[in-house]
Amino acid sequence: MADPTVPVREGARGLLIGGTTSDAGKSLLTAGVCRWLRRMGIDVAPFKAQNMSNNSMVCPDGTEIGRAQWVQALACGLVPSAELNPVLLKPGTDRRSHVILSGRPAGELRAREWATGRKELAREAFAAFERLAAKHEVVVAEGAGSIAEVNLREGDYTNLGLARAVGLPVVVVGDIDRGGVLAAMYGSWALLDDADRGHLKGWIVNKFRGDVDLLRPGLEVVESRTGLPVFGVMPYLRDVWLDGEDALTLGAWQARGAGAASATEGEASGPGEGASALRVAVVAFPRLSNATDIDALAAEPGVPVDLVDRPEHLAGADLIVLPGSRATLSDLGWLRERGLAEAVTAAAGRGVPVLGVCGGYQMLAERIVDKAAVESRTPTQAPGLGLLPIEVVFEADKHTRVVTGEWRGHPVESYEIHHGVVHRSHTEVGNSGSEIVPFLDGWQRDTVFGTTWHGAFENDAFRRAYLTEIANRTGRSWTATSAPGFRAQREQMLERLADAVAEHLDTDALLRLLRL
């Protein structure tokens, strides 16, 4: 149960959007409801008490929050802040997570400490909600995972624990696209105790394709057995995506890989095949982080993006991307075990462009030194891939900040999240005779590029100039189009989500829940 000693205001004006499962569409629906309310002139703020994700974003004040809450803040017209996501857990291993509390590093939480380690996290989360509720008319909270995770109910502060602590009504969304949504809704209700059920106010079906009349008899059964209404059926929306929270959303790249941004849950669509296409292979590290760096590439027409985890999958790639990693040394070891390290260095030797971002950039180094035991538990060092003349030293302090720069005259707004600090090495190995030139905050040698900056490819002019450089180096005839820019696409997505909320949900019922 929620900690009764936490001083929160009962009956806050707001709503909690929970889910029958992870990836049911809570983030999308929260963003859509937020934008819909903002359109009505309501001062609304998003909230997620706890996020477990390696996809994060840096706020203007240098604090770190989950990427989805950052986008939801944009939906509300707010400057993102740590209050929107007071607890962020970044998995380092299957049994250990790095804790970001109020936007700043706060140690680690191990699986065996989960039952006892949440009290302080809950206190911080409830306090953040209280501050938001005091400043805004409405707070739309997003739950985490499933509302029916009864094995984790004791000490819960993200789902019904939050709802009961602050008096929030709960609407539960289920994903019909994966099947079994009726059973998932009824089963969620059946597992809860009476006190928790009292906060459930209704259901929303998400990602529906087909004739709603065929679904209606099933919805009536759920309504009859649970006593809760279905507030609407959200359609399967193409051209709608959201900056992903976890590995479940990585398929979005495949869905939009042909270039025209398609639904996160959708199928490949649009052009992208043929001699002019620029094929991007992104290495799928086990602890891949800030995967959203690649979203802007995948949204570019004619740039299909594939996730790869085998050496043979690199064949035919025009650009190989080593993305961010929450466990750089561990993922570098995985790269070697899979034979991918050798394949990447061989491809670079043949002139195939290779791009490393943050953790991936660090892997391109000659040497990685974890003197502060940030990742390796004890001070250690390991050889990198040796593709750039740099050394990386992990420092205890985490670097998080918003940054600006330029490349070939194109302005770039970006952000940093890293412990590893890059230094030019004193002795260059490998292709030491090649020219070394700056690339954003990092370096380029021949066709190997490295940068610490996340989010750089969201800058349209830079992204298209960089892809043009790759096309020239690989002999592709790809050229940039006049398609909407990445940030414009995100704004269009938010508007489409709000349109769908207004059209397909019982908005009068939602307003009554919000006491508006």
Catalytic member of 136, 199, 419, 454: 454
Positive or negative CA dihedral for 159, 163, 164, 170? negative
Structure token digits, residue 111: 């699986």
- Tell the residue number behind the tokens 């065996």, with chain if given: 112
Q: How far apart are CA 268 and CA 245, in angstroms?
A: 21
For residue 410, indicate whether it is catalytic: no
Are 264 and 249 a contacting pair, CB within 8 Å?
Answer: yes
Say which of 34, 59, 76, 358 is annotated catalytic: 358
Q: Which residues contact 151 (CB under 8 A, 6 or more apart)?
A: none
Contacts of 482 (CB under 8 A, 6+ apart): none
| Amino acid at site 424 | R
- Cβ count within 10 A of residue 176: 23
Distance CA 451, CA 304 (A): 22
Host H or E run for residue 451 = strand 448-451
Using the 8-state DSSP alphabet, how is residue 176 labeled?
Answer: G
Compute the distance between CA of residue 352 and CA of residue 345 in angstroms, rounded to an integer: 9
Query: What DSSP string describes 312-376?
Result: GGGTT-SEEEE-EESSHHHHHHHHHHTTHHHHHHHHHHTT--EEEETHHHHHTSSEEEETT-SSS
Q: What is the dihedral of CA 442, 467, 366, 322, to 10 degrees?
A: 110
3-state secondary structure string across 275-326: CCCCCEEEECCCCEECHHHHHHHHCCCCCCEEEECCHHHHCCCCEEEECEEC
CA distance 453 to 6: 38
Backbone angles phi, psi at 323, to 5 degrees: -80, -170
Residue 423 is among the residues annotated as catalytic for this protein = no
The token pair at 186 is 């009824």
Contact present, 86 and 125 (Cβ < 8 Å): yes
Q: List the one residue out of 54, 41, 5, 46 whose CA is nearest residue 289.
A: 54
CA gap 155, 210 in Å, rounded = 40
Alpha helices in 53-113 (DSSP H): 67-76
Which burial class, exposed, middle or buried, applies to 1 when counting CB atoms under 10 A from its CB (0-12, 13-18, 19+)?
middle
Enzyme catalytic residues: 358, 454
